[in-house]
Structure 1
Amino acid sequence: MKKRSARELVVLGLSVLSLAGCGDGNGISATSSNSNSGPNSNPGPTTSPAPAWTPGRYAGDTNLPDSPALPRDDQVCSVLQASNTLVKNADGSLPASADPTPASYGGATTQRNNPDQARIQAALDACGAAVDAEVGGKIAQADQSAAATQQAANKPLVNIAGATSETLSNPAYKASKFSVRLVRNSGGAGNAFLSGPLVLPSGVTLWIDDGVTLFASRDVAVYDKAPQDRPNPITCGAAVNNPAGLPAPTGSANAGQATLAGVSGMQNCYPLVRGNHTVNASIVGTGSIDGRGYMPLISSSPLYPTIRWATGTTEQFSYSGNNISGVVTPKFSCTNTIAAYRAGTLAPEGTACDVVTAMGKSTLTTPAVTYVVNRQATSVPGGMTVNSPGCASGTAGCARWVPASWWDVAYHGNKDIGGGPYSFQGNPGMVWMQQSKNLTLYQITLRNSTFFTVEADGVDGLTAWGVKILTPLLPDAANQANVGMNNDAFDGTSGVYSHLYTGAQIDASSTGVKNTDGIDPSVASGPEHASLGTGSKTTSGSPIYFDGYVKNVAIVYNYLSPSDDNVAFKGGLSDPRVAGAKGAQNGSPAADMLWGIDGNRDVSSNRTYGITVAHNHSYNGHGLSIGSPTNAGVRNIHFYDNYFDSVYDGTNAATDMGVVGLRIKSGQARGGDVSNIYYDGACMRGISSFLVFDMYYTAPAADPISYTGLGWLPPSFHDINVSNVRMMNIPSNKAAGKAGGGSLTFRGLHADTSFANAQSVIQLNLANVVADKDVVLGISNLSKGVLNIGSTDGSTQSKAANATLNLGANVSLLGQSLAHGTGGILTNTSSGAGKYTAPTNTLNLTVIGSDDAGSATDTNPAATIVSQNPKLSVCDDPASWPSFPNVK
């Protein structure tokens, strides 16, 4: 095995410092996560044929498998050169002139807005066919052999998995040529590709070369799914909501239907890159993929329904029953209705929109106007005038209708029309792979995603190594004149795009860019026996088995800055387990319960832990997360040696941006067992929510049974182990002598009087967890009200905590002070080294142990702990905090 030098690691985009701070990911070892005893133990390698070849361990961290590598030149199926008509700006963006907004709706052409899709897909398809011809039969044979062994074992609770990812990593199952490489133009300045949705075939690597960017077309029509692929008639690019199960309005595509139950808007769009039933597929390279979420959408179809909003207007409204009130001028219009588009016609002007509507709350009052079809360039519906400073209906360029961006669609679907479980933003994801074995992302930069950046459902062998995810990344020119997409002078072909239609500046918070998770390993809906996808329209000759579980995941050495979860393991709402393996959830014996995501299942011999998240640097985002759906169960995940670096200063809400560190989240109708989770080694500074363990992520009213179809499923979080975690102040505060801040959230379930929940108490074990002396540590439980929860003990306090903290050695949560709400959570005594008591614990938070750092005279117990702990003192090394790499 080749050992890499520090210089080589830098070239690979890895953090040398992270290697120096490596741990074994098991700082709290009271409960071993590698136990193979009991009825649900890891069956070991005897259930499938032993691989002929086993890759070695990565030299930098022997817990990990070998690092991926870029293909060799002789492994390339074809090389595609960028057209010289596509040249990036200096800031890395694509000029608006590359695919200009049409002068009139429907003026876009595929030659301008989607020039590269056909040739890239043709190259991928040809490579996929060649790979299948060379190794497809071998893969099928290996899978059939493994499946026969598993079927003979006759374990009724276990899905047939077929050949493992470890077996299929053997070079015998990889073709001699397997890569399609996108490169710069050899005879000119071309360095960009512009494409609509692509299908990544099994066995094929998409290699994007250094300095090259694959840009997503902003032609909304190319992402709309074909009838056989879409779950409902709603179009891609729609923003709809159907709260409380109200029927959709008459005239809409799903008129009379009670809900869009359990359907993500992403399911109505083809993602930019997708694959289904793949083995050994990859996306690699030091180039980038850009989703262009901030750009106004265009359409190559004159009939396609798109959302537009009016410049120079301010729409503020509130809900009253099923009506929206307080609207003076409607902010939105649509160019057609979904129903008319599906029928191949144009709806008459003034027809009520169904593409941008609150559906059950679609009647607008004061005055009584509605979102309606309006294809005019300069007027607003119903003769309404625009009345804003310096702007009237007769002012040229004032009452303009401009196309929404993907981020506008997302914001409208999440915020304006109610949010909640029925909010529906019809946006495409960037990479969505379903039922895969050995899926690799290596070194690639993924930016400006329009929905989830990477969704991997039912994957055995997911490796994300040296990846850079950044959303939003706006052009450098953005906001130079303090205007943005809603600029009244927007001319349809140029301008800057730094604001949402609301006027709010786009930032990295959940208030700006919605649902752009970084990497989401998720269970699939169920096991499948299906042919490999060998191209956009072809499959292999023999089916292979996929069990739908998440196994053998390594998310390591990445730079993560999305505007939502940095990483999120989603254990539901789909559930691949057979009924008998769901344990108490469906009446089967609890001893028979399996977990949808289990780091101990079928662990490859080339790694220590089946699921590892390590050596990552997170900047903005909602944390290294588990959930919110956990109904299929999640356990045995190792998070270690991760860094969190943002800008929250502890006092200024403008720097908060919802940035989270470590988080487990669930709700009352999507809960399940979450256990044996290990967080070992984390440096966090500028983070507004350091630790979040929350069973009220979705309130009871937001999880009706009709939405999930699951009934009430209270979560259970236990054996959650947190060690070697340091909560720090930001450098600018330190230089100014100011304290920093951040919060903790522990919210288990209280037995309620309105729903079917029993009490569920979070069980957390903490050791070597400190908040620096200049950090004001707050408890957020009371700032997040729990509705519809009745008291059972005569008190008036909502029961939001319900958690037990087992404080092991060297815990200092005092910081400079500990802020908490009425009723007390932890109260530091007036003497000693910050020992805690809980005198009036109305929040049912049990603290076992105490802050035990140093002696009673120690004025800085956190520093004492840090000085004795290399995993915490490494946080003081300036090299621990690299800036986000240049990804332009």
Structure 2
Amino acid sequence: MISRWKDVPVGVAAMCAGVFILMSLSAAAQDTRQVTEPKIPESCVQLPAQLRAMNNLLAPADESKLDTERIQHALDTCKPGMAVELKPASGNNAFLSGPLEMRTGVTLLVDEGVTLFGSRDAKLYEMKGEGVTPGLCGTIATGIPTVFPAPQRQLKTRGGCRPFISVMDAKDVGIMGNGVIDGRGYAKILGKDYSWWEMARKAEPQNQRYFTPRMIVASHADGLTLYRITLHNSTNYHVSVNNTDGFTAWDVHLQTPTTKGMDARNTDGIDPGSSTNITIAHSWIDNGDDNIAIKTGVTHMSVLDNHFYDGHGMSIGSETYTGDSNLLVDGLTEDHTTSGIRIKSNVTRGGLVHDLVYQNICMKDVANPIAISPYYTNQTTEGFVDPKYVGDRIPDYKAITIRNVLDTTPGNVLLAGLDDAHTTEIMLDGVRVEGITPAQVHGRFATVALGPRGTNLDFSGTTIKVIPFKGVAGGETGFGCDGRFVPMQ
């Protein structure tokens, strides 16, 4: 149910009467499938490694020794329900490939001790087809205005890079194993004096468009499963999934950059869009942008028992113009992310976002523990004032529940709607940010209903409307973060 919070809305009346039932809301706000731990299928073929990486690096002489053809042939001929297995052999531990295309029912299985490296040759990733401009992959576009917030859908140029691994119109695909897929975003592009990541950063000051492969891109890929796989050093987004019903990421280990101190711009972790029935569970994400970014058109998604490290947090947006709904985030630990719970959009790309439940979340050293904002300006963290963009895609945030959240260090909180007609509506129950001051709490055009355990956030310096809990207030939640902060795995 989406309330518009006029006078005393139904949801708030229930809360104030002490009969707000979180269990029913949680049951609705999640993947509707019965998701269990995936199983690795039997192999249709075992491909032995023919290259040897030392210290996770390939020798320059190996750059021409591509495994693309034999891996793709195996994927094309494998029986559905079985796996193409990449295995170590005779001391060799590496494969080198250009773009690969998955087939229906087939799993790519990367064994422990094996790394599948992406080629540094931009020409291999070039998009093909009628009307495509050649030679764009690995370059920054010139003469194309992309000043934010102008949406990139207005751009006319066609071309760029294909993904490293594509799952297009292919169902029940798996990418599994205890091995590694490494995009080598740190490495110089062949024939260039810059790496993929250096190109991305060079394009940032003028917000120029640049062309780089994503690691895994899926569309119309119902039943896609990532299981136990490790993803390293993607050149851009790691996992992008669209137009898909049923996507599971379970025990995925995602780290970019693997060498701390390196700069890996726009290396989002897992980004679903225009999809339904999604579960991301028991995974570890440490990367150079949003750990998870839910794009527009996502419904019925569960994010369960995950650990985030470097990155921009648990995000929705910035595109929300076709709406997002029915999200459950439960059991999340965030350690040094820039944001914790983050919803970001603006009037050029916003829409209705509703029925979200965030619960049992631990944070530390998070700059913005909660940031619910219609003020997105393409920055790492949200500003606290309206940038006055002009547009008709209005962010509207409703029916958001945040429960049992503990941040052990102080940070800024922003709860904002756009205007009186688009107020943000949120319930806080057992939400605590240790050491936070009233000056660190920001917001306007928002209504906060307090659950029985309330919050230590002080809204007195804002224009946020606070509706106290009118039932029997609860005591301590019993929720704590002891033992929750563990090293990246």
Bucket of the pairwise TM-score, normalised by the shorter protein: 0.7 to 0.9
Task: Letter of the 2:85 partner, please give it.
Answer: R
Residue aligning to 1:358 = none
Choose the corresponding residue for 2:60, options 97, 103, 109.
97
1:619 aligns with 2:404: no
Mapped to 2, the partners of 1:274 and 1:126 lie a distance apart of 17
Shift of 1:852: 12
Residue aligning to 1:520 = 271
Task: Letter of the 2:219 partner, please give it.
Answer: Q
Choose the corresponding residue for 1:869, options 456, 477, 480.
477
Mapped to 1, the partners of 2:335 and 2:34 lie a distance apart of 24
Structure 1 segment 528-677 matched on structure 2, within 5 A: 550-571=275-296, 596-599=297-300, 611-646=301-336, 659-677=338-356
Task: Letter of the 2:86 partner, please give it.
Answer: L
Shift of 1:233: 5.4
Choose the corresponding residue for 1:847, options 457, 466, 476.
466
Task: Letter of the 1:683 partner, please give it.
Answer: C
Q: Which has the larger radius of gyration?
A: 1
Structure 1 segment 222-261 matched on structure 2, within 5 A: 222-228=124-130, 230=132, 235-240=136-141, 261=153
1:113 aligns with 2:113: no
Q: Deviations over 1:843-870 (max 9, x none)?
A: x32222289999xxxxxxxxx95xx323
Structure 1 segment 21-420 matched on structure 2, within 5 A: 29=22, 32=25, 65-71=35-41, 75-83=42-50, 86-90=51-55, 93-99=56-62, 112-127=63-78, 130-131=79-80, 175=81, 178-185=82-89, 188-228=90-130, 230=132, 235-240=136-141, 261-262=153-154, 268-299=160-191, 306=192, 403-415=193-205, 418-419=206-207
Q: Deviations over 1:69-118 (max 9, x none)?
A: 122xxx211111111xx32234xx2145354xxxxxxxxxxxx3351111
Report the secondary structure of 2:22's partner residue. coil
CA contact (8 A) 1:812 1:851 kept: no
Shift of 1:759: 4.4
CA contact (8 A) 2:428 2:451 kept: yes
Q: Deviations over 1:231-257 (max 9, x none)?
A: x556111213667679xxxxxxxxxxx
CA contact (8 A) 1:811 1:853 kept: no
Shift of 1:33: 6.0
Q: Deviations over 1:810-847 (max 9, x none)?
A: 22325xxx7xxxxxxx3xxxxxxxxxx45xx5xx3222
Mapped to 1, the partners of 2:175 and 2:425 lie a distance apart of 39
Task: Letter of the 2:397 partner, please give it.
Answer: F
1:884 aligns with 2:482: no
Task: Letter of the 1:884 partner, please give it.
Answer: M
Higher strand share: 2
Report the secondary structure of 1:239's partner residue. coil
Give the 3 Å change call, closer, same or farther, for CA 775–263 of structure 1 in structure 2.
same
CA contact (8 A) 2:53 2:59 kept: no
Choose the corresponding residue for 2:430, options 752, 768, 780.
768
Task: Letter of the 1:768 partner, please give it.
Answer: G
Mapped to 2, the partners of 1:404 and 1:244 lie a distance apart of 23
Give the 3 Å change call, closer, same or farther, for CA 680–776 of structure 1 in structure 2.
same
Unmatched 5+ stretches in structure 1: 1-26, 37-41, 45-62, 100-111, 132-174, 247-257, 300-305, 307-402, 475-497, 499-504, 507-511, 524-549, 572-595, 600-610, 647-657, 705-710, 730-740, 751-757, 782-799, 819-825, 827-836, 855-863
Residue aligning to 1:443 = 228
CA contact (8 A) 2:144 2:155 kept: no
Mapped to 1, the partners of 2:209 and 2:369 lie a distance apart of 30
Mapped to 1, the partners of 2:158 and 2:436 lie a distance apart of 40
Give the 3 Å change call, closer, same or farther, for CA 241–566 of structure 1 in structure 2.
farther
Task: Letter of the 1:237 partner, please give it.
Answer: G
Residue aligning to 2:14 = none
CA contact (8 A) 1:813 1:851 kept: no
CA contact (8 A) 2:185 2:233 kept: yes
CA contact (8 A) 1:679 1:722 kept: yes
Mapped to 2, the partners of 1:565 and 1:427 lie a distance apart of 18
Shift of 1:264: 11
Give the 3 Å change call, closer, same or farther, for CA 260–64 of structure 1 in structure 2.
closer
Mapped to 2, the partners of 1:271 and 1:884 lie a distance apart of 27
CA contact (8 A) 1:559 1:616 kept: yes
Shift of 1:30: 8.6
CA contact (8 A) 2:246 2:276 kept: yes
Task: Letter of the 1:80 partner, please give it.
Answer: L
1:690 aligns with 2:369: yes
Choose the corresponding residue for 1:779, options 421, 435, 440.
440
Give the 3 Å change call, closer, same or farther, for CA 851–29 of structure 1 in structure 2.
closer
Give the 3 Å change call, closer, same or farther, for CA 687–64 of structure 1 in structure 2.
farther
Shift of 1:463: 0.4
Report the secondary structure of 1:120's partner residue. helix
Give the 3 Å change call, closer, same or farther, for CA 126–266 of structure 1 in structure 2.
farther
The alignment's TM-score, normalised by the length of structure 1, stands at: 0.48
Task: Letter of the 1:686 partner, please give it.
Answer: D
Give the 3 Å change call, closer, same or farther, for CA 264–123 of structure 1 in structure 2.
farther
Task: Letter of the 2:359 partner, please give it.
Answer: D
Percent identity, aligned pairs only, is 32
Give the 3 Å change call, closer, same or farther, for CA 462–189 of structure 1 in structure 2.
same
Higher helix share: 1
Task: Letter of the 1:723 partner, please give it.
Answer: R
Shift of 1:66: 1.5
Shift of 1:181: 0.2
Give the 3 Å change call, closer, same or farther, for CA 724–68 of structure 1 in structure 2.
same
Mapped to 1, the partners of 2:131 and 2:255 lie a distance apart of 30
Q: Deviations over 1:466-524 (max 9, x none)?
A: 001111112xxxxxxxxxxxxxxxxxxxxxxx8xxxxxx52xxxxx322111111111x
Task: Letter of the 2:402 partner, please give it.
Answer: V
Shift of 1:881: 2.2
Number of corresponding residues = 460
Mapped to 1, the partners of 2:469 and 2:26 lie a distance apart of 26
Shift of 1:281: 0.3
Shift of 1:225: 1.0
Task: Letter of the 2:350 partner, please give it.
Answer: G
Mapped to 2, the partners of 1:564 and 1:813 lie a distance apart of 29
CA contact (8 A) 1:114 1:217 kept: no
Mapped to 2, the partners of 1:264 and 1:703 lie a distance apart of 23
Task: Letter of the 1:70 partner, please give it.
Answer: I
Give the 3 Å change call, closer, same or farther, for CA 759–218 of structure 1 in structure 2.
same
Mapped to 2, the partners of 1:262 and 1:288 lie a distance apart of 37
CA contact (8 A) 1:28 1:723 kept: no
Residue aligning to 1:429 = 214
Shift of 1:34: 5.4
Q: Deviations over 1:645-668 (max 9, x none)?
A: 22xxxxxxxxxxx62111111110
Mapped to 2, the partners of 1:33 and 1:267 lie a distance apart of 42
Give the 3 Å change call, closer, same or farther, for CA 780–243 of structure 1 in structure 2.
farther
CA contact (8 A) 2:343 2:371 kept: yes
Give the 3 Å change call, closer, same or farther, for CA 849–566 of structure 1 in structure 2.
same
Mapped to 2, the partners of 1:120 and 1:275 lie a distance apart of 15
Mapped to 1, the partners of 2:26 and 2:367 lie a distance apart of 30
Mapped to 2, the partners of 1:196 and 1:264 lie a distance apart of 27
Give the 3 Å change call, closer, same or farther, for CA 688–701 of structure 1 in structure 2.
closer
